[in-house]
Amino acid sequence: MSATVARPTRSGAALAWHQVRYEQLSFWRNPQSAFFTFVLPVLVIVVFGVMFHGGERSDYFHGVTPLRYYVATIAVVSVLGACYSQLAIVLATRRQNGMLKRVRATPLPTWTYFVGLLAHCVVVSVVDVLLILGVGRLFGVPVPDPGQWPAIAVTLVLGATAFCALGVGVASLVRNAEAAPAVVQFVLFPLVFVSGTYLPIHSDAVNAIAGALPVRPFNEALLGAFAQQTGFAWRELAVLLLWGGVGALVAVRRFRWDPGPGGG
């Protein structure tokens, strides 16, 4: 009688690392996605660098130079693209083509799949932000003081996590992959503008409304740590955490693995 040899099972950490590697390989095999994720924000900073190089501090840009302001806000845009837009579209597409249903049928734990996606998005965001900071440095934007880097790191990780949760939440509400880009941009486009990303907003009423939404707090927290040297922006970080919780709640309650109308 032959003995059955038990095959060793991989730990959760090993499975999560494998999923991160898979997401990274999938990402880099799509040159168009990589281009818009990395090159487009860098091009924007180059254009702003040419336009505002040598600019002085001004009250209009909240007491910092124009280029220092834009390095912070475009860094936020790059995180939104990697964590919110890309994740929502990818999940909607994978659900429609049946990939999520196949993943659900494997022994891969659900949490491992989403941890892999989250870690991948954070890695992409960090690389993108470092590229933007590097280009800004070429145009004379100084490196933040060492004491500000913990606040910068926490802000970026919390912002990336919150917008990943929002991306999954939006993906759970999108009915098909074709609608995903339109829905994502319909939500994001006005938020980016009213949050002072491309032009500082000096209307108290608009700032009060935008401050309760997720993009402006992210802008303000990163701008404070990076450009204004004010450290942790606890109120803005709390708003980001709250919106991340909203996204996670919607995702848990509404996310579907099956492309069919009754999928769960």
In a domain, 264, yes or no: no
Q: Which of 83, 84, 81, 55 is nearest to 69 (CA)?
A: 55
Residue 261, pLDDT score = 54
Q: What percent of the chain has pLDDT over 70?
A: 93
What the block records as the tokens of 233 is: 């922006």
pLDDT tens-digit profile of 194-211?
A: 999 999 999 999 999 999
Is residue 2 very low, low, confident or very high in pLDDT (cuts 50, 70, 90)? very low
Is 173 buried (19+), middle (13-18) or exposed (0-12) by CB count in 10 A?
middle
In the chain, how many domains are there? 1
| Model pTM score | 0.86
DSSP secondary structure string for all residues of 132-153: HHHHHHHTTPPPPPGGGHHHHH
* More confident site: 225 or 21: 225
The structure tokens listed for 262 are 């009754």
The pLDDT assigned to 10 comes to: 61
The predicted model gives 160-172 an average pLDDT of 92
109 is a domain residue: yes
Contacts of range 146-155, beta carbons closer than 8 Å, 24 or more positions apart = 147/231, 148/225, 148/226, 148/229, 148/231, 150/232, 151/221, 151/224, 151/225, 151/231, 151/232, 151/233, 152/222, 152/225, 152/226, 154/232, 154/237, 155/218, 155/221, 155/222, 155/225, 155/232, 155/233, 155/237
Is 1 domain-assigned?
Answer: no
pLDDT of residue 9: 52
Confidence bin at 113 (pLDDT 50/70/90): confident
Classify residue 4: in a domain, yes or no: no
Average pLDDT over residues 31-51: 83
Q: What is the pLDDT of residue 76?
A: 94
Per residue in 59-78, pLDDT (tens digit) is 899 889 999 999 999 999 99
Would you say residue 136 lies in a domain?
yes
The reported pLDDT for the residue numbered 7 is 43
Which carries the bigger pLDDT value, residue 103 or residue 196? 196
Residue 207 lies in a domain: yes
Does 3 reside within a domain? no
Answer whether residue 5 is part of any domain.
no
Q: Kindly report the average pLDDT of the chain as a whole number.
A: 86
Its domain, for residue 203, covers 12-254
pLDDT over 90, % of the chain:
41
How do residues 73-96 score in pLDDT, each as one tens digit? Answer: 999 999 998 889 888 988 998 888
